[in-house]
Amino acid sequence: MKDLLAVFKALSDETRLRVVKLLENGELCVCHIVAAVDMSQSRISFHLKILKDAGLVKGRREGKWMYYRLNESDLFKRLLFLSIAERVKDEEIAGDRRRLEAFLASRPQQFAGLAAACCGRV
């Protein structure tokens, strides 16, 4: 029951729903999420920790960068993600997507890909 409560608590915050909606298109680095949601890195990390502790996202380290993706290994969580994607309309996070696209476009060409060095810093 504690696991279930953690999942619903994690999904009870607008910022975390925005992050989940951004991650539905694939893995993102923390700096990409920071740019998209327009919040400080420490606040985004706080929200990502709650999502990770609830088992909703998985993180991986690549050098000094952390990348996050949805944890779709559990059928219940997959259904939650589908439900969120259906109910949180793209228009509601259009600003987040625009900021993410602008951030990615502002990176030097060799770092424009999400798998490349984050933020163009080496």
Q: Is residue 122 in some structural domain? A: no
pLDDT at 99 over 50: yes
Q: Hey, what amino acid is at 54? A: A
pTM given for the model: 0.83
Instruction: Return the CATH number at 76.
Output: 1.10.10.10
Q: Is residue 121 in some structural domain? A: no
Q: Is residue 49 in some structural domain? A: yes
Average pLDDT over residues 1-25: 91
pLDDT at 31 over 90: yes
Q: Which domain holds residue 9?
A: 2-115
Q: Is residue 120 in some structural domain? A: no
Average pLDDT over residues 55-66: 93
Paired tokens of 21: 């909606």
Instruction: Give the number of domains in the chain.
Output: 1
Return the HEC string of 20-69: HHHHCCCCEEHHHHHHHHCCCHHHHHHHHHHHHHCCCEEEEEECCEEEEE
